[in-house]
Structure 1
Amino acid sequence: MTCVELAAPASEPVSLADVKAHLKIDHTDEDDLLSGLISVARRHVEAETGLTTISRPMRLYLDDWPRDEVIQIASGPVQTLDAVTVYDETGVPVQVSLEDHLLDGVARPARLWLRERPLPGRVLNGIEIDFTAGFGEAAADVPDGLKRAMLLHVAAMFACRGAVTLADQPALVPPGYDRLIAPFCRRRL
């Protein structure tokens, strides 16, 4: 099971202006660096929580249908189911009907049931499920705890900007970060 984003988010959960106000910066000399750090912080919080902050199209690849018929989608919250494609034995894509499907997009992980489930002919990644995930299109839709964690994270990365390049970030996670994201993390036993 592999999940990839099909397009980058149209915006970030925290803006450059938010970060500059948090850091008390009033010049534009490091705007490019700060913008890069915002993106790193978003990707990190999404990886840690399994959540998608700003809505965007995603694709889940499956080798076969699950035995219990319920497909689990780890990246959530899932807003819409957009398409399901199954590849036959010759590699031809077949669109699966979305009629009568059931989607619990807010569950962790999200759950999907399809009435029609043709067998894939391709051994690896024979099933593609396209969906839109995220809290919403705007930063205002993202929970404040996640945005505050990102602000702390950007500040910590900015503080060590001379020692660690943007490509090597995140170099550290600041104190308090884990407590801010804890309510959004899935716990496993």
Structure 2
Amino acid sequence: MAEAAPDWDAIHAEYRAGQLSNVMLGKKYGVTEGAIRKRAKAEGWQKDLADAVRQQVKEKLVRDEVRAPNARDREIVEAAATTGADVVRRHRRDISKGQDIVSMLFGQLEEAASNRAELEDAIEEETKNDETTRRRTQLMRLVSLASHAGVLRDLSAAMKNLIPLERQAYNLDEQEHEEPYEERLRRLLGQE
């Protein structure tokens, strides 16, 4: 039985909508990602409807939230504001959790640094009967100043990201960033 030719018109239409990756389009229509990429390049395909689709999705979500196809503007704005407020509250909780974790780690680092001599003595005692010095060397490296400096650098970087996010989430600063809060949060969390 002969294999059916791919429906390139349907693939092109979905490509223009920009909702699926080339890999997902290939799986859906039984062609390779490379074939889609080559055809798109050869025919000059553009994902020119992606913004319109995203806008339509937003509008549908807002309309669905108020559950009325002819909802008044006030109801639409209220539903969108409620959704936005929920997102900001969730971000504030996440930022607070991140700050709590960083503070806890700072405390642990401070304790380890202030008790370094005791930790080194405990490592010496624990590893005195080892046949090689490998384990002792690794444990000593963990409590070394260089290790503490690296942890401190990483924790400082985390705080450097968290503090501006919190200030932005609570609108404490003038808008210095052209990038919206949600996009900046996604970028800093690596979720783009």
Q: Which has the higher contact order (CA 8 A, sep 6+)?
A: 1
* TM category, shorter: under 0.3
Q: Which has the higher strand share?
A: 1
Give TM-score scaled by structure 1 length: 0.22
**TM-score, normalised by the number of residues in structure 2:** 0.22
Choose between structure 1 and 2: higher helix proportion: 2
